[in-house]
Amino acid sequence: MHRDLPSFVTYQIEIKTKKNSEDLIFEDLWIDEKRYKFRLIKQDRKIASSFNKAEVLRFSIISELKDDQNKIPPKAGKGILILTYKFKDKLKHISVKKLKQIDLKMA
Give the pTM: 0.77
58 Cα distance to chain centroid: 8
Distance CA 23, CA 19 (A): 6
Question: How many helices (H) and strands (E) in the chain?
Answer: 0, 6
- Contact present, 60 and 29 (Cβ < 8 Å): no
Using one digit for the tens of pLDDT, what is the confidence trace for 44-84?
999 998 999 999 999 999 998 887 666 777 776 678 899 99
Give domain limits for the chain.
13-96
| Residue range 19-54, pLDDT digits in tens | 999 999 999 999 988 899 999 999 999 999 899 999
